[in-house]
């Protein structure tokens, strides 16, 4: 029987640090993960199936590149984003302005667990990538997301999983040592803070979601969950 490692919480939101501003972090992530951002944006559109004129909410946008990709791919949609880091919000707003998308993307500071304090109204689709492991209380966060979705709305999410196998851990270790450099420590701590498929499914069920799919792959978890029409 496989033993699951004990979860090690990650210390809060990503903020400016000595030698690395959120703007610099955003540019590094654009260069290194642009293909991954594009793939996830495609996954959001395919599985979330946003209707024409849909209102989307992103939890934990970080550098914000996924929202930029989605807004350009679907000129009919509007996006609101919520991030716990004021530094990341500042950097994302600068990117939104540079891309000329101020009318269609809005970003605010706040936490998933109490998103009603920062965003108002109902959404057709909520999505999130690599944010879940930062949440203080996933059950409360999923309940808040469930309450923010319109009938028939969907949640599409991807995050790290800490129960990856030995081969995956070797690949992560090699990537961190020879490719990612100082950024590798963030990936490793994110994996350690991740949840298992069973844990995430339990959070979703307790929060009132139905039609739940939690799909683990080599390194990550993909989640699609819907609310009743």
Residues whose CB is less than 8 angstroms from the CB of residue 86 and which lie 6 or more positions away in sequence, other chains included? 15, 109
61 in Cβ contact with 22 (< 8 Å): no
Q: Domain locations in the chain?
A: 22-162+196-226
Q: Are strands 78-83 and 105-109 parallel, antiparallel or unpaired?
A: parallel
pLDDT tens digits, 179-188: 777 778 888 9
Q: How confident is the model over 156-173, as a mean pLDDT?
A: 94
In this structure, are residues 226 and 146 in contact, taking their beta carbons and an 8 Å threshold? no
- What does the pLDDT read at residue 77? 98
Cα dihedral sign, 179-183-185-186: negative
Strand segments, DSSP code E, in the chain are 55-59, 78-83, 105-109, 123-129, 149-160, 210-216, 220-226
Q: Check pLDDT > 60 for residue 203.
A: yes
Check if the beta carbon of residue 84 is closer than 8 Å to that of residue 58: no
Report yes or no: 221 and 195 within 8 Å, Cβ to Cβ. Answer: yes
Q: What class, spelled out in words, does domain 22-162+196-226 have in CATH?
A: alpha beta
Provide the whole-model pTM: 0.94
pLDDT of residue 2: 62
Over the stretch 18-53, which tens digit does the pLDDT of each residue have? 778 999 989 988 998 999 999 999 999 999 999 999
Q: What is the DSSP code string of 72-128?
A: HH-TT-EEEEEES-HHHHHHHHHHHHHTT-TTTEEEEE--GGGGGGT--S-EEEEEE
Residue 176 contacts residue 188 (beta carbons within 8 Å): yes
Q: Which of 227, 173, 229 is nearest to 204 (CA)?
A: 227
**Dihedral pair phi/psi, residue 114, rounded to 5°:** -135, 50
Taking CA atoms, 160 is separated from 39, 84, 164, 195, 220, in Å, by 16, 18, 9, 7, 5
């Amino acid at each position: 029987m496989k033993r699951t490692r004990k979860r090690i919480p990650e210390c809060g939101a990503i903020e400016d640090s000595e030698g690395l501003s959120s703007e610099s972090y955003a540019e590094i992530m654009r260069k290194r993960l642009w293909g991954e951002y594009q793939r996830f944006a495609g996954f959001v559109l395919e599985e979330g199936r946003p209707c024409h004129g849909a209102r989307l909410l992103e939890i934990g946008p970080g550098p914000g590149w996924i929202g930029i990709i989605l807004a350009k791919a679907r000129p009919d949609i509007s996006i609101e984003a919520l991030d716990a880091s004021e530094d990341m919000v500042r950097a994302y707003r600068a990117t939104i302005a540079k891309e000329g998308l101020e009318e269609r993307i809005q970003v605010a500071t706040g936490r998933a667990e109490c998103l009603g304090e920062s965003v108002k109204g109902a959404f057709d689709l909520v999505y999130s990538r690599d944010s879940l492991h930062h949440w203080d209380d996933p059950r409360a966060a999923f309940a808040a997301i469930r309450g923010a979705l319109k009938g028939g709305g969907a949640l599409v999410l991807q995050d790290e999983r800490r129960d990856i196998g030995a081969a995956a851990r070797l690949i992560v270790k090699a990537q961190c040592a020879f490719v990612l450099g100082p950024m590798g420590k963030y990936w490793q701590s994110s994996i350690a803070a991740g949840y298992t498929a069973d844990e995430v499914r339990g959070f979703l069920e307790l929060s009132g979601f139905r039609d739940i799919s939690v799909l683990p792959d080599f390194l990550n978890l993909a989640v699609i969950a819907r609310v009743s029409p």
